[in-house]
Amino acid sequence: MIKALKYILGFVFLALIMGVILWTFSPEFKKAVQLRFLSKVSEVAVERMASNPDAQGTVAADFINIPIEAREIAPGIFQATGVGNAHLITTSNGHVLFDTGLSTQVAKQMEVLKPHLGGQKVSHIVVSHSHADHAGGTKAWHENGIEIVAHEEFSEEQRYLEELQDYQWFRNRTLFPFMPESPPRLGLIAYGGISPTITVANGTPLILDQGGRNMEILALPGAEGADNLVLWLPKERILFSGDFFGPIFPQFPNIFTMRGEKIRKPVEYIRSLETIMALDPLMIVPSHRNPITDKAAIDDGLGRIHGATKHVHDAVVEGMNSGKTVEDLMSEIALPEGHELTQEHGKVSWAVKSIWEYYMTWFHFDKTTELYAVRQDGVHADLVELAGADKLTKRAQAYIDAGEPLKALHLLDILGEAQTHEALILREAVLELLRTEAKATTNNSYEIYWLDYKLRETRAKLNERALQD
């Protein structure tokens, strides 16, 4: 007993000493310690992801495996690669940093960019928007006197993402099961806590002319949220686009995101895109993956995204006015000829639904029960009792045979807790059919992540049953 007490006292004493050390040392020292810790956390995260079978071959795993290194993408402009790129735009009188990547990668990104500072300090950190893969390193880079430039909506976006972090983390982790169990909450690594010192409003660019470099920071909302900023170099005609175009250029925009975020405004996005087209960039530098330097590819890509998004938006509006249902429109609306785009990230039918709900919100003006808090599956057990689980399962099989897996899935959903072994086998078959279809058509990564999650769940139930039998 006394021995245990001694241990506890010894531990308390050590903790006190550590506390005093951390408290006495300069903020710089504390930051350096935290950054070293961050670097280690990042290494562990990469190893964990790389070795997890669920992560193999996914876009997320591709991203986390991107090596962190600095490269000069234009004279005096350096990109630190990573999940989210960080950019150092050098001038002879204070450098500008555009985007700061993930908090778990910032230590390494700082290390590779430091040799290019050339004795000058960073004067401004510009964050393209409030997402963790773009603003995550801001607190690590920030020192007294450095301005933090963000969209005037940044703080509000950061607020809701922070307040709903636990719920969003659960959704993210369902789709990306290799993620850590809970969001990081400590110091430099935690999400949020960024206070912009300069804000940029829609329609009023911030002009930064310093050290022989002309820069314009424009608010272009509607892409990855209401708080998008881009940085434009008018002389070089280089556009730092942040996440305006998403991870692939060109792609159909991610107006809806399965991770769960506020719906993005489609017309605002189209207008922002028109602003970019009027700039006529020679080079686009997204904060994910590589810069695009082929002018013909840039013009073609911008034209396609614009035409495709406008077409989908206008077709939804027209369809709504002519009395069509959202499901009609989801199955009818396709990208027009000449405006084909990959839907690997943003899927057209989901954008259709999002545009519909953006304008009319969740009440589809259809069923009375939509207005009340009693779910339809509250009477599923009655249906099973009346029809019998066997009959429902047989009919589901018939739908699968007839090439209508979604109708089969509706019937299987009715079974709820009454899932028999046969029903689970059918469910697995339906999910596999949907997955094959998704792979062969849009190859939308989120659709595949979701189907994989549901497949894992179904197979776990099958295993459970096998153990019981």
Binding mask 407-426 for Zn ion (x = CB under 5 A): --------------------
- H-helix or E-strand spanning residue 207: strand 206-210
Residue 129 buriedness (CB in 10 A; 0-12 / 13-18 / 19+) = buried
Taking phi over 0 as left and psi of -120 to 50 as alpha, with beta for the rest, 90 belongs to: beta
Nearer to Zn ion, 79 or 90 (CB): 79
3-state secondary structure of 457: helix
Task: Determine, following the binding rule CB under 5 A, whether residue 261 of this chain makes contact with Zn ion.
Answer: no
Task: Give the nearest distance from C-beta 84 to Zn ion in angstroms.
Answer: 6
Piece of 241-249, 309-317, 401-409, 438-446 that binds Zn ion (CB under 5 A): 241-249
How many of the chain's residues bind Zn ion (CB under 5 A)? 2
- The minimum distance between CB 83 and Zn ion, in angstroms, equals 8
CB of 122 to Zn ion, least distance (A): 21
Nearer to Zn ion, 227 or 243 (CB): 243
Whichever of 133 and 227 has its CB closer to Zn ion, that residue is: 133
Q: How far is the CB of 433 from Zn ion (least distance, A)?
A: 32
Show contacts with Zn ion in window 116-155 (CB under 5 A).
133
Residue whose CB is less far from Zn ion, 65 or 93: 65
Q: Which amino acid is at 397?
A: Q
User: What would the two tokens of residue 308 be?
Assistant: 């495709």
**In this chain, which residue has its C-beta nearest to Zn ion?**
243
CB of 352 to Zn ion, least distance (A): 24
Residue whose CB is less far from Zn ion, 289 or 380:
289
Say whether the peptide bond before residue 250 is cis (omega within 30 degrees of 0): yes
Contact region with Zn ion (CB under 5 A), list: 157-165, 204-212, 243-251, 432-440: 243-251
- Would you call 71 helix, strand, or coil by DSSP? strand
Of residues 157 and 243, the one with the C-beta less far from Zn ion:
243
Q: Please, what is the minimum distance in Å from the beta carbon of residue 40 to Zn ion?
A: 24
Q: Which is nearer to Zn ion, 94 or 246 (CB)?
A: 246
The CA distance from 178 to 60, in Å, is 10
Is there a contact between 69 and 118 (Cβ–Cβ < 8 Å)? no
Given 3-state DSSP classes, what are the helix, strand and coil percentages for the chain, each rounded to the nearest 5? Answer: 55, 15, 35
- The span from the first CA to the last CA of the chain, in angstroms, equals 49
Q: How many CA atoms lie within 13 A of 377 on its CB side?
A: 9
Measured from the CB atom, is 137 or 405 closer to Zn ion?
A: 137
Q: Which residues contact 290 (CB under 8 A, 6 or more apart)?
A: none
Q: Least distance from C-beta 135 to Zn ion, angstroms?
A: 10
Nearest distance from C-beta of residue 104 to Zn ion, angstroms: 14
In angstroms, give the least distance from the CB of 128 to Zn ion. 8
User: Which range touches Zn ion (CB under 5 A), out of 184-192, 242-250, 264-272, 362-370?
Assistant: 242-250
d(CA 220, CA 226): 8
Task: State the angle between helix axes of 380-387 and 389-401 in degrees (0 to 180), rounded to the nearest 10.
Answer: 90
Q: What φ, ψ does residue 49 adopt, rounded to 5°? A: -70, -45
Q: 40, 79, 51, 82: which is closest to 65 by C-alpha?
A: 82
Residue 422 Cβ, how far from Zn ion at the closest point, in Å? 43
Nearer to Zn ion by C-beta: 102 or 411?
102
| Bridge-based pairing state of the strands 206-210 and 198-200 | unpaired
Of 13-21, 42-50, 240-248, 301-309, the window that binds Zn ion (rule: CB under 5 A) is 240-248
How big is the chain, counted in residues?
A: 469
Smaller CB distance to Zn ion: residue 242 or 319? Answer: 242
The one among 99, 153, 157, 243 contacting Zn ion by CB under 5 A: 243
Interacting residue ranges for Zn ion, rule: CB under 5 A: 133, 243
